[in-house]
Structure 1
């Protein structure tokens, strides 16, 4: 039966306090780095769009509910959901200031079908293979997302009774005929 001396106990407590303060400092630095990455990335996307006269940016409407490998890792899932939400809201905020609309598009099957011919292909690691050629997998999905966004915009602009049209049309009319920048977060 051993007891810890008061002096030894005091040293241990001081060491724990010191480690706790170090951890808090690291967390603060990590938080600052995340903020900087978010700022740099969203500024780049908005300025890139502005430089090409793009008025609408289409992004994937992501859902993190059915990702099987994340069932055991709640922290990773929470962080990814949080970061995607931050990117989306920061893009919307900066886009609004610059006159750029952000729309979310359902990404279902965008990486399974060829952006060029529309046929189903195979994704092998970072390459998408189809009968008509090979493409970067993310590029292929991004172009498909852009095409879906264009369909959504056309559908809204052709249906005068659409509630969504009343919300989006004033911003869309000024961009008819301009390209849509597909942004892919895969």
Structure 2
């Protein structure tokens, strides 16, 4: 058994004028409190509480803000805020009710302020029905939830955690580790060693990397022009569309990664550990761009939960030098080009090799060397399981010099 966290998607069904007004009031109060606490540069929950306590919000929203604002001002070094962050509620804030006899089976209670809540009919993602039923039955634990509006429709994203059965009891040493390298040239690269120890059947999603880079560049160019013209609403709508396209690419690629794993006997997917990445980064240009801008954490999380749902175990390893070491001799080499790794050991047979495949093999080898680390630990506050902590995509080193923006609707 392993613990799995997933984001459940619910669409609120045609709220009447009164409920729409209350939802808008909640959103406006949340935005005001968020901006006030952020502008005050609150770095602790106590400082944030002193700011948000005076706003007309439920305690669940205030408590979520007290956790969120210090993350923005310290962990993520955000320089400015997008105008439309989703409204956040702590795990005690929502209640579900299931009425299978009704045409609309599911209802959710959303806090408005401390003395008033809204019961809303909701339409869940049909692929997540079993998760929602587990949550309603108490077999899964509810986490933080987010409320937002997109194109006139209101949505809720609710995180849920439950234990799932993984694997068939195969011991770790008898599994086939598949290294998963997430990058910027090839969006994802996977590879494993065959029974003779040779790297085999690598697969690269390089075209998808190009697609995402193109969409990110389009996003920055177009939205900046629209914002300069004062067309904020058009810019938001345009950004939504591009991020939906990027998310579609992410979902397709991560699904294909899991399908690759299913074709291998007794597989275990091996990813780079986000905790180690955080420990080794100084929030400089490159790592900020990699973790926040590129969607590293979001791809990481999607691969993990899709694999676990298929019964494929996932392990993580320290990513130090996985892109720099030669998988054949262990010598630290270099990359003369983005897609090429060159070994500097004159006695090594490797010479030049595809850089992303080299990284994927090194990641798989970390598992074989016993450096793997299960994801079942408590303090991975940077895992961004649903991508909710990601910021706007950054397209170049020049973009990394600009202030970090935290996006609202896109961050859901």
Q: Which residue of 2 aligns with 1:141?
A: 359
Q: Which residue of 2 aligns with 1:161?
A: none
Cα separation, partners in 2 of 1:75 and 1:91, compared to 1, 3 Å: closer
Question: Is 2:334–2:342's contact at 8 Å kept on the other side of the alignment?
Answer: yes
Query: Aligned equivalents of 1:33 and 1:45: distance in 2?
Result: 19
Following TM superposition, by how much is the alpha carbon of 1:34 offset from its aligned partner in structure 2, in angstroms? 2.3
Question: Is 2:267–2:313's contact at 8 Å kept on the other side of the alignment?
Answer: yes
Query: Aligned equivalents of 2:336 and 2:302: distance in 1?
Result: 32
Q: Which residue of 2 aligns with 1:69?
A: 285
Q: Which has the higher contact order (CA 8 A, sep 6+)?
A: 1
Question: Is 1:55–1:99's contact at 8 Å kept on the other side of the alignment?
Answer: no
Query: Aligned equivalents of 1:98 and 1:76: distance in 2?
Result: 28
Q: What is the aligned-residue RMSD (CA, Å)?
A: 2.9
Following TM superposition, by how much is the alpha carbon of 1:127 offset from its aligned partner in structure 2, in angstroms? 2.0
Aligned length: 137
Q: Which residue of 2 aligns with 1:113?
A: 325
1:127 equivalent to 2:345? Answer no
Q: Which residue of 1 aligns with 2:370?
A: 152
Cα separation, partners in 2 of 1:129 and 1:77, compared to 1, 3 Å: closer
Query: Aligned equivalents of 1:85 and 1:40: distance in 2?
Result: 16
Between 1:124-133 and 1:62-71, the stretch displaced more is: 62-71
Normalised to the residue count of structure 2, the TM-score between the two structures is 0.30
Q: Which runs of 5+ in 2 are unaligned?
A: 1-228, 377-412
Q: Which runs of 5+ in 1 are unaligned?
A: 1-14, 157-163, 168-186
Cα separation, partners in 2 of 1:77 and 1:52, compared to 1, 3 Å: closer
Following TM superposition, by how much is the alpha carbon of 1:70 offset from its aligned partner in structure 2, in angstroms? 4.6
1:98 to 310, 314, 327: 310
Q: Which residue of 2 aligns with 1:178?
A: none
Task: Specify the SS of the correspondent of 2:342.
Answer: strand
Normalised to the residue count of structure 1, the TM-score between the two structures is 0.61
Query: Aligned equivalents of 1:67 and 1:141: distance in 2?
Result: 22
Bigger proportion of residues as strand? 2
Bigger proportion of residues as helix? 1
Following TM superposition, by how much is the alpha carbon of 1:67 offset from its aligned partner in structure 2, in angstroms? 5.7
> Where do residues 4-23 of structure 1 align in structure 2 (5 Å cutoff)?
19-23=231-235
Between 1:30-39 and 1:56-65, the stretch displaced more is: 56-65
1:38 equivalent to 2:275? Answer no
Following TM superposition, by how much is the alpha carbon of 1:95 offset from its aligned partner in structure 2, in angstroms? 0.8
The superposition leaves residues 124-147 of structure 1 with CA deviations (integer Å, 9 ceiling, x where unpaired) of 223222232211122112111111
